[in-house]
Structure formats: structure tokens, C-alpha cells
Structure 1
């Protein structure tokens, strides 16, 4: 049969359009064998080829250029389904799918599997198998189960513009809609439009916008022929889709049945409340396993010890099964009931109680569980990560540390040894298999909550940490994927003078690229079984990381990776007399020691410094790095903290270590990085005015201009590979000191950015306005790293006054405390923004209600980034049961969401 493809694409000299597909005739997906099309007219490309009679094939368009570049059109494979038809000629008319279309995000699972979830029609529209057939298709992911897409046109065979005669299209390959029309009875050209259609009422709900679509000719010459006309978009007259959501960590949820902490089954009740209030999305913090120290320090949800395993504290013990000993069972219920009454999350106690319960229940159920069909299926699907994880947990508990490099045995991961360790015949097998048991139930409970959310049209969104703990399953099993000599964090910026050292090892991105980022692929696929949207925390880390040498502790001692460090000649050419010893070693002088150490100055000089010239000092070898200083002062700790004297000396010594102007590059000792915030050093102040000026120019170029192309190219290698892995909707956390290319690339790739009113991307303004948010973004009032809007309001009254008058547009006296009506104004501003999503912390929504909101404002904060060891224990002061029955508040939220157009069926 003769097959022709026609598509519009405007090229420049040296570019040519190609077709590639699944059949041998179409190159079998080998780009080198792609079929080049002919450019018949400017912007119009066509290919005609003879193909054996087949039932179906997949294909896609791509553009090649003379330099070897290849650009694929956006989206999944196109499909031709003949379903038994024996056509002699097939004409295919397509339109190029650009990656720049903002509506591409509607094809992610958040829409196709959740928000617009629909069961394919029971009465699939019959395809025509012979004769002259016109098949009209259109991609429309944005219509929920209440309605269908139909076609109406100017000919009797197209309904003759009569609503009751509209041709309802087949959705069996949703979001593709299709209808076959007998073309022998049609008179061309034909005009038509797509409509949103109510099949039961047989009426049009919405006509698409714009002029009528036109098919000018059937084109096919053979009597037995098929013309396939595929459009890419429905032109919605109401504009783009927008929704609203809530952010709430799982551990913060409170219900009557919780066990002292929010649990996965509690998500069902949050979904019920979301439905009642018109909210379409629930955003969660990471839920992966973090147990490394068996203490409250493990409450930090971003320092995961497994990128695959779920955290045991989120399991509900009742749903796992009951102990046969009724007294013991009642004792566990009583303990968790008591913990459930506590104001904040009692992390350590919950973990201790549940861990004991898991072991007792597993011992009771072990034989039946391990032989059950459901477990065996779970094990087979997950054993690649599950066995190493269980072995890691067993060895962690046996060695009383997760620091696997310190283990007596198995410090180096050898698969054959771990398989033997985990063999069911070994005596320790029950202590290993208990972790299979826990993960099985966690998966089951989270999957149940996830399915419930999907059925009810609510998207579950998960945060993905940028790193993993250095003491994790991944660094044990795949050390080659990490650089354990570097820690990643964030550099100091205008919002955080010190920056942050998260302690995660840096990724070995080059090694990860060898297998196509397989580790990330598996991670995202696993998350995709539970969630339909994810946020890449610190998304700038995919452009470049802020790497701090393992010998140092403070973020100011870091540098960018990858980067273009400066050569000696470049520094000299910038007008700086580069004295390497003076500028790369700590600059320590007598005259400023008192500023750092006060009354302890003489003791510090005698104990920690060596004088090498009049008033000039070096640090002694035992304290010449921040890591050594930290280790040294551990001996002085009492009850986990340092006395004031030792703390001041330790901080002062750390400051001395950072008294440098350049950091030597860790990969090339003859190249250098300007130390960030070098202007704050005594070393800088000691320079002459001209040198300081030249330093400033060098500094600005290095930190804000020099690396743009490098980081852009770096991100375009990693991020597209990750995005292809999963059909979840992708969000990015683009806060902090970001290069200019970040937002451009995120927009190009369809990754939604984060817009926070009080921390605008535009550094020239104090407050951002929600109305300025781009469509592909999340507009929000706060993040988990910030105070709530009420806390923020009370931090700085002068700032609140400026906000009240300029952003809210009110006159008169400004309340010192945020009244509910002010919170409503702020929430309303965000709801009316053009951003695709407006997502609010629960605390900020409750701020709108004077009776429901918590009087303990400062207890509502989830995290303070400046505190290295922070206890993540915020918990709702209300139970979800009470919130569900707060009819007045719920109606207010629903009304605000509906009025702002964020609760539409399409």
C-alpha cells in the first residue's frame, strides 16, 4: 500500500525533516535510517513510501541538520491503527508538536491518570475498514469523565452543525480522540469544529474558539483509502487550565486514628477534605527512610538513607495486623493513643514503639507472610533494591551506626556476600526479612492512599531531595555514583548569610551518564507508582552544585561544580597582584583576633595558633580545617551542646579558616576560585582600594556571568533524560542564588517554577505580585523553610506596613497582627494569579479563619534552614475529622477557588 506523510515545519538552511518509526520501512527507530522528507513548498514537507499491508505501526518526526544535530518533536510516539482494514492508500496529515507549548504539561499523569481520569468508552466508535475513510483525530487531555469530545461540521456526515447529531469521538487511546467518517458521501472542502460534549444530554457544553477548521481535499486517489488528519490542540475559549492545592507533610497530619504522627492511611482523609474544598493537589515532603542515628535527628526528611524505601514511621499498625496477645495489643494501642495527643510529633517515641511492634508482628506472621502470593510478587518486583536495603538496615542495627565505612564486616558492598547474608537458611534471616515485611505494608498502605486520591481526582505530589545521606544504601552499594570527598549545600545569599552544608555527597554525574542515569530512572519510576507529580528540590543542582570539601564545614568554603576556575594569568589580567601564599592561606593578624575571641584571645593564641612574624599567625595543624576543629571540640560538649566559651572559640577558629580570598580547585591545584562573600573578610579589607575594586569586578564576572553557557549545557544533558523517564508532572524549586539560565531552561523543558510573593525572583523589587507569575509555575504564600504568613507578618512591622499599602493596596492604619481578612486578601491574590497552580501550606489557609487557626503562631513553622540540626516535628493542632466538619471555613475556601476559576471540569 502507498503511505504518505505530510507536515508543516519551517526550517532554515541545512535542516531537513525526517520520519522514523517501528517498521523496517521506517528505520526501526534507528535515527541513522530515518527517512528524509521532501520540501514541496516553504514550510511543507512530504514523504511517500510503499509499505506492506500491516495492522499498525508507530512513528515520529525529527529534524536533522548538517552538523549532526537531531531535534525530535515533543511527545510520545504517533500510532496508525488499521484494525483489520485493507487499504491501498493512506494519507497522513500531521502538525509538528513543539516542546515550547505550555499545554504539554497536560499530558502528564497528573491529568491523564488523575484530574481528567476517564474510563475508555464502553461503546468504542467503530473504525471503518474499507472504502474512502476520513479519520479525524485530536489530542485533548483536558476533559474529565463527565464530558466527551465531539466533532461538528458543515456537512450532513459531520452533523450539519446540529448539536444532537454531533459525532462523539472515540477515547480508547485517551488523550487522543478519534472518529472515522465515510468520505464517499462528503463534499470537500469541509469545515468543522471540536466541541466539549455532554453525551447524556446530547448538547454542546463548549465550542472551541477561533475560526472553523478546514480539510480542503480528501487527496487519496484509490477507492480503498484512508486519510488520517490529526490536530494537536483543542482551542479552549476559557483559557488555560488552573488549579489549587495544599502542602502538608505526612508527619504533620493529625487524625483520631493516627499513631502519634501522620500516617499514609491518613492521606485518605486529606483527600476527602481536598474534594470538599475544591483543592486538586496535595503536596508532601519526602517520605523515604531516614533512620541513621535512631534519634530525633532522623526527623530530617531530606537526608534519606534509601532513595527507594519508605519510612517505617508512616505505617499504621492496625492495618498491618493485630497481635494475638490481646493485652500486648492493647498496650501498643494505648501507647500510640497517648503519643497521638501530644502537641508536636514525638518522633523518637513513635519510632521506638512501632519498631517493637513490627518485630513482634513479623515473628507472629513470618511463615504465612513469606509464603504468601502477594509478598512473593512484591519481592520479585522490588528485590533489586529491597535486598540491599534490608541487609543495610540489619548491619546498621548490628553495628549501631549507619556509617557503613566503619562497619567491621561488609563495609565494602559485595553482592555475592550480601546474597549469602540474606539467604533464608541463615540464622539472621528473620532480622533481615522483617524489613521486607515493613516495606511491603508501607507500599500497600501508600498505594491504597494513592489509588484513593486518583479515583477522587486529587494529585499527590512528592518532594525529591537533591541528595542522599553519605551513610545510605546508595553510597554503600553504588559508591562510584558519588563523590564522598565533597558535600553539597547552598551558597550564602541575600536571604542566608551563612549558606548551608547539607552533608550530602556530590553526585558523580559523568559516571551516572554512562548508563543513561539508570539510578535516577529507577528512582523516578518507583515514585511514579505512588505519585503523579514531583518537585525537584534545589533544581539548580542539576545545573551545578555548590560543593564543599569534606575537610570543611561551612558553606562559604565551597565552590561550583562544574565550573571554570581561574588561572593565575586571568587573576593577574584582572589587575590583581596575585600573591598565592597571601591569598589562598588563612589571613590571620593580631589586630582582629579580639573581635573574634574577646577575653579568650590569649588562650587561643597559645593553644591554637603559631606566630610566624610580628602579629602574623598560622593555625596549628590540629585545627587547620573546619572538620578538624569540629572533631576537636566534640570533647567539650555537655548534653549535646558546647559551653559558651568553647562555642565562641570554635566559631572564631572556623572564621579564621575561611579568611582566604581564593580557594584552590580540588581537581587542578594551579587553578583557583574566588571565595564567596570574600568582601566580608579581613583579608579583603586589608587590600588597597584599587585591588578591592578589581576584585569586585572579577567577583561579579565569576559568580554571575562566566558559567552561564556551561551550566545551561550541563542541565540540558541531565534534565531531559530525567523527564523522559516518567510521565509524572515535574516541578522545580528554583529558590536561592540561581544563574539566569535556570528559569529559561525550566520553561523550555516544561518544568514548573516556584513563585513566592515575599521572595521574588526579581531582586529589584521587595515583594512579588502573584499577577506577574508565569503560567508554568506554582504561586505560593510560603514554603516549609519559611515562617507562615502570620509569622512573617509579625517579624517586621515596617515591612508589613509596606506590604499592606503597596501589595494589598489598603490605606490607613496597619494591624500589628495579621487579621483573618488580611490572610484572605493574600490567598485571594494568589488564587487569581495566572499560575497553573496556587498551592498553600495548610497553616496559611487556616489563617483566614479566626476560630480555626492556631494561637501558637511560632509552633506552626516546619523548618529553620539556618539551624543545622533542626527537629522536624510540626503537627496540625486540628484533627482532620474536625476540619472536615468545619462547614463554614470549607465553604469559604471552595467559593474562593470556584470564583477564581480553579475548579473547572476542563
Structure 2
């Protein structure tokens, strides 16, 4: 299908499209903490250069990175303590600017970095790095005019961020709302007094940000020289315990928290805990806060992903007084009037577009109102199409052929919040989530005992690591009617729809990707190749896959790292499995991998290569 170049160039984002060239592209997405080189325990800004080299060899022209902002205590990149500051954990200590090379080498060699090179990211390295940076700053930093200019140019956020970090460390990381009253207000005399007496500490925090700024900016320039686009990820919300909220409390609704309403995937909805924006006050401020964020991010990225795009139209809000046990069940949309959602979103997104030369793309997954699709098309912004979730529910749940995806979209196999495509096939496809099954039937007033009886009649006994079960071979639409003869029509309808959506899921997906092998749990490289081929063949302008899924073209990696726990995040859970996943192979070994040739061939055959 021919690309409608004129559509993109004549859209509201036309000037952004002109800068990067309107053409079909393929890319990868990865959290920087997951990649590693040498004996490093975590990815660093300078590793983006190696990732760029690898992408170039593969014919990939987009590197999408998860957020790189300074993370909170949960190490979630989507719960940052600043929407400006970068996380120091990614700084390469050997590539610092304006420091004495000899002294720096001596300091680094004197620090004992314990063996943190494990299968999971060990964030203890962050404290080690900060201690080392402090020593270098004190003993080896050479005064720099460039650093002074940076502090001056970024003072609108950097000063308050440094203050926030300093006071927070004084309170051992406690939420700013629990601080003494004299520290809660950034304009108080006490806070101003800190500026006078803690200059050295504040200077260090700012210096660390300057070093991070330089390393990430240089990574962007390197990617640019190699015709690779860096796509950042700008979380829609920031932590309520952040420098942003502390500095600008009027820009947030502090009596509420954001979340998501219940849906077919999350029966209790979600309660994220971040404070929703007060868009009226942000507008009164000329959208300066939003515009400044984007202008700073432009130093590092050519494009950016708007996380939870539909939140710009309306956001699910929950009163802080509601018990956390309810999740996201008790809440309401803001704005409440759905008739103004589209215009509300349009006004905000137009500010995004005019603020920066970066091309925005949208994460528009979940319960999405039609207004969102219409607005994205109107503005020329790509949304997301996930192969396994894109189904014709009005036609028995058949999978949508990717040739009919929106042109303004990114075709993907998986996301950082989902299982990988191999784990989905093994543990989810064709199976029923048992907790959802119980939850949905309980809503119809069925007792736990009755549900258990139904469960035993309908499903096999074994519960897999994903909490899913398979239908028993004897189950059919007729037997469902028989088993539910004493239940309401709503229960019968639910079970028939559940059966219809899962019983042929594997068969239909295999047909979609042209996979003709036995439909067993075990898959091979041919399955992965067919999945990638199908995603690359979509009408979507971009096709971006998890780096791990590109690496699954290596049969050994596919076999060893397709477990249920081999993923980036388990949404709605607090676990040491979240945000700690590491690639099973170093960047140096990736450069020698046989998958490079396979990927390059797939990309070129799809018309997404350089030619």
C-alpha cells in the first residue's frame, strides 16, 4: 500500500514530519537500564552509541527509549521525581566533561564496585555512582563557563529540583507533604535561606545534571549522524512526590490521584497515585510548564511518545480519601462532560506541537474513545496498533489484518507493560485468566462455591504461571448452555463471549502470521520471524518492536528467555521483577550476532530500510 506522504506533510504536525522525512521505518524499543556493555551493571547514556551502530547494521532507523528521568524509590521510569532531570544512574563515569582526567581515573580506580553484574538490574549502583561523582566533583572538577551557562539557562527548573533533592535527602526520602511546614512551600524564607548556606551541595546536584545532559545530547547527535532517530518517552504524569509538584502545586489537583477505570484486563481498574493536572491553571500560566519540558527534551530526542495520550482528552481521577483497596473502581473522568473531551485534548496537544520540533507519537491503548482516534488522524500523530489486541469483536474476535491498520500508527507485537510475543503464545493465547473469570462472575451475584463448580466443569485443573487455564476438550457452546441453565442470560452471554474470544485465538493468530506448525506451547524461530514479518508488513508508518523480540531470532535466546517472568513490567503489581529486566546478551556480543543479517533482510523486504 502506497504511503500518503501528502497527508502527513499537510497535517498539523507537517513541519515535524518534514524534519525527519515521511517514510516507513522500523525500529526497536528498550529501557536503557536493560542494555549493558563490558562489565557494566546497567546501561549508560554512552551505550546508546553502540545501540545506534547495531540498529544501523540491522536497517533499523528508530531507537525508542523508555523514560530516562530521575526515578523515585520504586525505580519506575514512569514515576519520576522530575519531568526535567535525568537519572544519574545512566552517567558514564569515564566520560565526564571538564574534569582532570588523571584525578578522575585515580578516583574511579580507588572505588570498589562490588559485583552487581547479575541477571537483574541492581540499583545499588546508583548510590555508588553518586558517591563517586561527589568525589570527582570535589577533587577533579575544573571550573567551566559552559557549566555556568547551563545553570543559568536551566534555572527555571534546575534550582527547584536541586532544592527538592537536598531537602528530601534531609528527610531520608520522605514525601514532601510530610516535611515540616517551613519546607513545604518553595517560596518560604527557610527554603530561600538554604540557597545561601548550602551552595556547594546544590552546585553538585546541578553539576550531575549537566554531565547527564551532555552525555545524552551527544548520543542524540551520534544517532543523527548515523540516520537513526531517537524517540523519547515523556510520561503523561509525574510523581506526586516530585520537584514539579513541589515547585508548582497550583498546576496539580492535589486532592485527587490519577488512574484507570476497570476494563477487561484490569477488573479493579488502576490507581497510579500521581496527581492529575489542573489544566486551567496551566493554561493561565501560558502552558509554560509544558512548553519548557518539551524544549528541554528536544536536546535529546527527535521524536517523543506521549504516554497515556487519552489522558489529554480526559483522565480517570480518584479522590485521595477513597481506600486504596478499591483500586480504580471508584472515580470519575475529568473533564466529566464527554462532549468537550475532543476540544479539550486538541487545545493541549496543539500546545505540545507548537512547543517543539520533535514529532509526537501517542500511546493510545486501553479504553479509547473515538474522539482520540479522530484527533490523532486530524493532527497527523501516530497511535499504536498491537497485533495480538487488534481484533474485530463484532466479527467473533478475528484478528485485524495489519494491512488495514491506521496509516498514522506504529505496529507493535508487544509493549513494556505486556508479556513478550513468545510468552503470550505460551501462557496467554487461547487461555482464560482465572482471576478475571471469578471477578466477572461475582459481579453477577454468583457465589464463590458456584463459580468453583463452573470452573471445574469448564477448565482444566492446571493453572499456569500467568494464572491462566485451558478449556476442557468437552466444552462447546452447547455444553456452556447446559452448565449455565440455572444462571441469568448475562452469565450465559459472558461465558459464550469468553469462549468465542479464546478458543480459536491461537489458530486465528497462526493464520494471521502464516504459521503452519503444530499449535503447541513450544515455538521456534520461524514463529518469531513470521510475527516480525507481519508487523513490518503493516500499513503503519512505523513498526517498532521490543529489542528482545528482535533478539528472539536467535534460537538459543528464544529457548532460554521466553519465560513468563522475562518481561519489563507487571502492571498493577509491586515486585522486584518490575523495571529490573536485563538483556541476556551484551551490546558487544549483539554486534557479532547472526540475527543482524536476518533483521536487515526482513526490514529491507518490508520496504522499511534505507533504500
Shared fold (TM-score, shorter chain, > 0.5): yes
Per-residue CA shift, 1:244-279, capped at 9, x if unaligned?
Answer: 000011111111163x11110000000000110100
Structure 2 residue corresponding to 1:722, chosen from 334, 352, 363: 352
Aligned to 1:793: 425
Structure 1 residue corresponding to 2:585, chosen from 847, 871, 878: 878
Aligned to 1:359: 134
Aligned to 1:687: none
Aligned to 2:61: 280
TM-score (norm 2): 0.81
Structure 2 residue corresponding to 1:824, chosen from 523, 529, 535: 529
Per-residue CA shift, 1:759-808, capped at 9, x if unaligned?
Answer: 12754335333212111100000000000011101114645632344323
Matches within 5 A, 1:53-452: 101-104=7-10, 107-108=14-15, 112=19, 115=20, 241-256=23-38, 258=40, 260-291=41-72, 293=73, 297=74, 299-320=75-96, 324=103, 329-332=108-111, 334-335=112-113, 338-339=115-116, 341-347=117-123, 349-365=124-140, 368-369=142-143, 372-408=144-180, 409-414=182-187, 418-423=191-196, 426=197, 428-452=198-222
Tell me, in whole angstroms, the C-alpha distance in 2 between the residues paired with 1:847 and 1:431: 46
The secondary structure found in structure 2 opposite 1:525 is helix
Aligned to 1:204: none
Per-residue CA shift, 1:466-502, capped at 9, x if unaligned?
Answer: 1111111111111000001110011111122121111
| 8 A contact 1:109–1:532 mirrored in 2 | no
| 8 A contact 2:507–2:519 mirrored in 1 | no
TM-score (norm 1): 0.55
Per-residue CA shift, 1:708-766, capped at 9, x if unaligned?
Answer: x2211211221112211111111111101111211011110111110001112754335
The secondary structure found in structure 1 opposite 2:274 is strand
Structure 1 residue corresponding to 2:539, chosen from 814, 834, 857: 834
Tell me, in whole angstroms, the C-alpha distance in 2 between the residues paired with 1:326 and 1:513: 49
Aligned to 1:802: 507
Tell me, in whole angstroms, the C-alpha distance in 1 between the residues paired with 2:15 and 2:566: 33
Per-residue CA shift, 1:584-622, capped at 9, x if unaligned?
Answer: xxxxxxxxxxxxxxxxxxxxxxxxxxxxxxxxxxxxxxx
Matches within 5 A, 1:338-737: 338-339=115-116, 341-347=117-123, 349-365=124-140, 368-369=142-143, 372-408=144-180, 409-414=182-187, 418-423=191-196, 426=197, 428-552=198-322, 553=324, 554-564=327-337, 707=338, 709-737=339-367
Structure 2 unpaired stretches of 5+: 431-501
1:375: Cα distance to partner? 0.8
| 8 A contact 2:69–2:80 mirrored in 1 | yes
1:779 paired with 2:411, answer: yes
Task: With a CA cutoff of 8 Å and minimum separation of 6, indicate the structure with the bigger relative contact order.
Answer: 2
Per-residue CA shift, 1:437-474, capped at 9, x if unaligned?
Answer: 10010001101111101111110001111111111111
Tell me, in whole angstroms, the C-alpha distance in 1 between the residues paired with 2:334 and 2:105: 58
| 8 A contact 2:417–2:570 mirrored in 1 | yes
| 8 A contact 1:99–1:748 mirrored in 2 | no
Per-residue CA shift, 1:354-412, capped at 9, x if unaligned?
Answer: 1211211111135x33xx11111111211111111111111010121342222223211
Bigger helix fraction? 2
| 8 A contact 1:535–1:733 mirrored in 2 | yes
Tell me, in whole angstroms, the C-alpha distance in 2 between the residues paired with 1:99 and 1:414: 50
Matches within 5 A, 1:5-44: none
| 8 A contact 1:413–1:477 mirrored in 2 | yes
Tell me, in whole angstroms, the C-alpha distance in 2 between the residues paired with 1:103 and 1:516: 27
| 8 A contact 1:516–1:721 mirrored in 2 | no
Tell me, in whole angstroms, the C-alpha distance in 2 between the residues paired with 1:555 and 1:815: 36
Structure 1 unpaired stretches of 5+: 1-97, 116-140, 143-240, 565-706
The secondary structure found in structure 2 opposite 1:282 is strand
1:897 paired with 2:529, answer: no
Tell me, in whole angstroms, the C-alpha distance in 2 between the residues paired with 1:811 and 1:355: 53
1:556: Cα distance to partner? 0.3
The secondary structure found in structure 2 opposite 1:507 is coil
The secondary structure found in structure 2 opposite 1:860 is coil
| 8 A contact 1:110–1:459 mirrored in 2 | no
The secondary structure found in structure 2 opposite 1:821 is helix
Tell me, in whole angstroms, the C-alpha distance in 2 between the residues paired with 1:797 and 1:278: 31
Aligned to 1:746: 376
Tell me, in whole angstroms, the C-alpha distance in 2 between the residues paired with 1:494 and 1:872: 24
Tell me, in whole angstroms, the C-alpha distance in 2 between the residues paired with 1:896 and 1:101: 27
| 8 A contact 2:52–2:226 mirrored in 1 | yes
The secondary structure found in structure 2 opposite 1:401 is coil
Bigger strand fraction? 1
Tell me, in whole angstroms, the C-alpha distance in 2 between the residues paired with 1:382 and 1:775: 38
Aligned to 1:32: none
Choose 1 or 2 for highest CA Rg: 1
Tell me, in whole angstroms, the C-alpha distance in 2 between the residues paired with 1:727 and 1:326: 39
Per-residue CA shift, 1:163-197, capped at 9, x if unaligned?
Answer: xxxxxxxxxxxxxxxxxxxxxxxxxxxxxxxxxxx
1:885: Cα distance to partner? 1.1
Per-residue CA shift, 1:533-560, capped at 9, x if unaligned?
Answer: 1111110100000001001222001111
| 8 A contact 2:515–2:530 mirrored in 1 | no
Per-residue CA shift, 1:497-537, capped at 9, x if unaligned?
Answer: 12111100011011111133111100011101110111111
Tell me, in whole angstroms, the C-alpha distance in 2 between the residues paired with 1:480 and 1:379: 25
| Structure 1, 859-868 or 873-882: larger mean CA deviation | 859-868
Per-residue CA shift, 1:834-860, capped at 9, x if unaligned?
Answer: 110000001111222203446132343
Tell me, in whole angstroms, the C-alpha distance in 1 between the residues paired with 2:603 and 2:255: 49
| Structure 1, 710-719 or 519-528: larger mean CA deviation | 710-719
Distance verdict in 2 for CA 1:812–1:397, change over 3 Å: closer
| 8 A contact 2:362–2:383 mirrored in 1 | yes
The secondary structure found in structure 1 opposite 2:51 is helix
Distance verdict in 2 for CA 1:327–1:719, change over 3 Å: closer
The secondary structure found in structure 1 opposite 2:52 is helix
